[in-house]
């Protein structure tokens, strides 16, 4: 970086909303992780098992959620839970099945 005299900066998103409000936001999306042994994960896993009679799959999502702000910036544990299949999420052809709802 120094050798190339490169300048690094953060991009800010400052476009107006439909109401005209401009809320400058730093375009920074920190990664985050809640450990499997965290009490929140254990509690929700136990609740899932009680409802469905089997252990849940505890894994990661490879797409973005508001967890980048809630957990990534503020350290508040976030758990993702929802219907559908991950490759279909946040895609133009997103779909889910009634049985998942």
Mean pLDDT (the chain, rounded): 90
DSSP string covering 4-60, please?
TT------EE----TTS----EE---------TTSHHHHHHHHHHHHHHSSPPP---
* pLDDT on residue 40: 95
User: For a pLDDT cut of 70, what percent of the chain falls above it?
Assistant: 100
71: number of Cβ within 10 Å: 19
What pLDDT is recorded for position 82?
A: 83
* Per-residue confidence (pLDDT) for residue 9, from 0 to 100: 85
Does the pLDDT of residue 26 top 90, yes or no?
A: no
Residue 28 has pLDDT above 90, yes or no: no
Q: How far is CA 21 from CA 15, 24, 52, 55, 69, in A?
A: 8, 10, 44, 45, 20
Q: pTM of the full predicted structure?
A: 0.69
DSSP class of residue 93 equals T
Whether the pLDDT of residue 80 is over 80: the answer is yes
Domain borders along the chain are 11-92
HSE (side-chain half, CA atoms, 13 Å) at 99: 1
Q: pLDDT band for position 83 (50/70/90)?
A: confident
Span 48-76, pLDDT tens digits: 999 999 999 999 988 888 899 899 999 99
């Amino acid at each position: 970086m120094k050798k190339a005299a490169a300048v690094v900066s953060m991009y800010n998103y400052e476009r107006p909303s439909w109401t005209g409000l401009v809320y400058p936001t730093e375009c920074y999306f920190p990664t985050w992780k809640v450990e499997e042994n965290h009490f929140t994960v254990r509690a929700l896993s136990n609740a899932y098992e009680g409802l469905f009679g089997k252990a849940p799959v505890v894994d990661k999502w490879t797409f973005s959620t508001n967890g980048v702000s809630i957990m990534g910036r503020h350290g508040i544990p976030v758990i993702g839970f929802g219907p559908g299949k991950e490759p279909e999420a946040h895609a133009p052809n997103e779909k889910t099945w009634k049985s998942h709802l």
